Amino acid sequence: MELKGKTAIVTGSNSGIGLGIARELAKAGADVVLNSFTDNDEDHALAREIAAEHGVEARYIKADLSKGDEARALIEKAGRCDILVNNAGIQHVAAIEKFPTEKWDAIIAINLTSAFHTTAAALPMMREAGWGRIVNVASAHGLTASPYKSAYVAAKHGIVGLSKTVALETAREPITCNAVCPGYVLTPLVESQIPDTMKEYDMDRDEVIEKVLLARQPSKDFVTVEQLGGTCVFLCTDAAAQITGTAISVDGGWTAL
């Protein structure tokens, strides 16, 4: 339980990648704060479940990360932040000349600007505690591009750049900041898209996974949320104390091409 006594805030963590990361951090002993923009019984039940399973403290705090003041308030309400995982994100796909301005603004706000606000609020707490870890969930699209994803690609490239800047500003302190860049992850959202994609391409499930979803992922295997969580846990350990300002690919070889 190497992270016992640490508090981890994971944004966008009531499902998918964020929830998987939160579970792995709790498994390693960290108290966790879950977050999303909803405030349902199910959200708070997830926190209770994690607390009971791993013997840690776990809470759920609502915050709409498209709003800077709410992003900062999330950190303040948590009261402590030793580990910050900026994971919240949304996506929209369209040609750039048809890309809705409101979608661009929302993606930049949630996928990039929110990390600026949470980091700015968390750093004073980390400095006071004398220790801190910031892990920004970027994407393979933080290192390379795909068509029709202009806002997402721009935001994820920005997250990688923000991680490098924060790392340099904290380089003489016991605080690190890194970006994790996953390829395709089999989340419930991706899983739900498979049946429609099978119909669209007239393929079976295995063909859709290999030839469509994982077309650019050489391993032809999905990244798991547990693998991403394990990478985040490693970055919080003493073994990773000199790893800062990096973009770590967890993408089955995608960005090696």
Which domains does the chain possess? 7-184+224-256 (3.40.50.720), 186-222 (no CATH)
Nearest to 198 by CA among 206, 189, 187: 206
- 152 is an active site residue: yes
The percentage of the chain sitting over the pLDDT mark of 70, rounded to a whole number, equals: 100
Q: What is the pLDDT of residues 142-156, one digit of tens each?
A: 999 999 999 999 999
Residue 102, C-beta contacts closer than 8 angstroms, at least 6 positions apart: none
What is the residue-averaged pLDDT of the chain?
97
Q: What is the pLDDT of residues 146-185, one digit of tens each?
A: 999 999 999 999 999 999 999 999 999 999 999 999 999 9
Q: Tell me the residue type at 19.
A: L
Q: What is the pTM of this model?
A: 0.96
Residue 139, C-beta contacts closer than 8 angstroms, at least 6 positions apart: 152, 156, 181, 182
Selecting among 60, 148, 152, 184, the annotated active-site residue is 152
Q: How many CB atoms neighbour CB 257 within 10 A?
A: 9
Q: What is the mean pLDDT of residues 193-218?
A: 94
pLDDT of residue 177: 99
The percentage of the chain sitting over the pLDDT mark of 90, rounded to a whole number, equals: 96
pLDDT of residue 189: 79
pLDDT of residue 190: 86
